[in-house]
Amino acid sequence: MASHDNIKLTASELSNLFMSYLEDTLVVCVTSYFLEHVEDPDIKECIKFSQEIAERNVDFRRNLYKKEGLPIPVGFTEHDVNVTAPRIFSDEMMLQYTANLGITAMGAYSSSVALSARHDIRAHYTSCLHSAAEIFNRSANMLQEKGLFIRSPYIPYPNISEFVEKEHFLAGWMGDQRPLTSTEISFLYLNLFRNALGAAFLTGFAQISESKEVRKFMVRGSEIAKHHEAVFGKFLSESNIPTPVSWSMSVSRSQEPVFSDKLLMFHTNALNNVGMSFYGQSLAGSPRRDLSAAYSRLIVEIGEFVSDGTQIMIDNGWLEKPPSAPNRKELAKG
């Protein structure tokens, strides 16, 4: 294997390292708070494992930044979390959060592997991908043991293999609509559940935010998530597909600040960016025209929400700038 000592990091590698550093420092803050309040010892083990993985990743990237002579991002620190604040989320919500953490990390790290050239960076993100899968599998096993795992709906097994023969397969605007495919059901279910979880967490974020502007933004986000949840539920119910939602997503009445508004805003925007990515995949895998139209409309709605959130972060000096190309026009001016 050739040495990478003299090979510079590409723009993609710089970008992924920057974002994953910020995200894992955030995970360390969130899990630190969870570990102060979780009561179930089994759930605590899952959260602790997630924290250890995040800390290991942060250490690797910090050392890499030093080796490359790069400035270490600020990210999030103990100043962005108050671990002694009263409990805001139930044990079950913490476990659902950890499982979702594994899901989103698997998607991010698979992309990071594909976009990396240097061997050490690919090896790092390959290890991160395996760890993310382990976080999800441990959390999923625990959710099943606790009776909290929400399965995708069941449909009857097909009797024969078929090919699509009629244009009616794409229909959806009016008249008789064909039943949903298993792929469309899968996307609708996942998006419904993620929005139910997001609405619950944003409700909690609204209670513990210090800024009136941030509080209003979180309330708006919770309402958007509930609206999207209803849209997906309607598509499922119209095809007589059950839409189970966990009853464990409870939020306490505490209003004492837990996380900094900077952390809350970054977290919310990051989750919504992931949501748009999921919607894009869902759009590509949903041939029925009414579904594709709905996903297109909802992507625009989330995009506007994220844009407004980014503006709030910029106005408050909370948005850390990723590595960027030089401004050649300004350099040319001397």
- Domains in the chain, number: 2
pLDDT, residue 330, reads 73
The region of weakest confidence among 86-90, 264-268, 323-327 is 323-327
Burial class (CB in 10 A: 0-12, 13-18, 19+), 2: exposed
Are 189 and 109 part of one and the same domain? no
pLDDT, residue 178, reads 80
Burial class (CB in 10 A: 0-12, 13-18, 19+), 17: buried
Please check whether residue 185 is in contact with residue 236, taking contact to mean a CB–CB distance below 8 angstroms.
yes
pLDDT, residue 176, reads 66
Are 139 and 221 part of one and the same domain? no
| 155 band by pLDDT with thresholds 50, 70 and 90 | confident
Are 111 and 204 part of one and the same domain? no
Are 191 and 308 part of one and the same domain? yes
pLDDT, residue 120, reads 96
Is 167 within the bounds of a domain? no
Q: Give me the phi and psi of 211, to 5 degrees please.
A: -85, 135
Are 214 and 107 part of one and the same domain? no
Mean pLDDT along residues 207-226: 96
Are 70 and 110 part of one and the same domain? yes
Kindly report, residue by residue over 11-36, the tens digit of the pLDDT. 999 999 999 999 999 999 999 999 99
CATH code at position 274 = 1.20.1260.10
| 153 band by pLDDT with thresholds 50, 70 and 90 | confident
CA-wise closest residue to 28 among 101, 118, 122, 114: 101
pLDDT, residue 331, reads 67
Are 134 and 263 part of one and the same domain? no
Which of 145, 161, 195 finishes a domain? Answer: 145
Beta bridge partner(s), residue 89: 251
pLDDT, residue 162, reads 81
pLDDT at residue 220 is higher than 70: yes
Residues whose CB is less than 8 angstroms from the CB of residue 31 and which lie 6 or more positions away in sequence, other chains included = 47, 48, 50, 51, 54
pLDDT, residue 127, reads 97
pLDDT at residue 1 is higher than 50: no
Is 154 within the bounds of a domain? no
Token pair in block for residue 21: 């550093």
Is 2 within the bounds of a domain? no
Is 282 within the bounds of a domain? yes
The torsion of the CA quartet 204, 210, 213, 216, rounded to 10 degrees, works out to 20
How open is the CA angle 314-316-320, to the nearest 5 degrees?
50
Are 27 and 97 part of one and the same domain? yes
DSSP letters for 82-132: -TTSPP-B-HHHHHHHHHHHHHHHHHHHHHHHHT--SHHHHHHHHHHHHHH
| 163 band by pLDDT with thresholds 50, 70 and 90 | confident
Are 185 and 266 part of one and the same domain? yes
| 260 band by pLDDT with thresholds 50, 70 and 90 | very high
Are 46 and 118 part of one and the same domain? yes
pLDDT at residue 57 is higher than 70: yes
Are 87 and 187 part of one and the same domain? no
Is 243 within the bounds of a domain? yes
- Which of 236-264 are b and which e, b meaning 16 or more Cβ less than 10 Å from the residue's Cβ? beeeebebeebebbebeeeeeebbbbbbb
Domain hosting 258: range is 177-315
Is 286 within the bounds of a domain? yes
Which of 145, 160, 191 finishes a domain? Answer: 145
Q: Is 31 or 5 the better-scoring residue by pLDDT? A: 31
Is 160 within the bounds of a domain? no
**For the whole model, what pTM was predicted?**
0.91
Are 140 and 183 part of one and the same domain? no
Mean pLDDT along residues 228-249: 82
Token pair in block for residue 155: 């449909």
Mean pLDDT along residues 142-169: 83
At 254, the amino acid letter reads S
Is 156 within the bounds of a domain? no
pLDDT, residue 123, reads 97
Question: What do you get for the CA distance between the two ends of the chain, in Å?
Answer: 42
pLDDT at residue 43 is higher than 50: yes
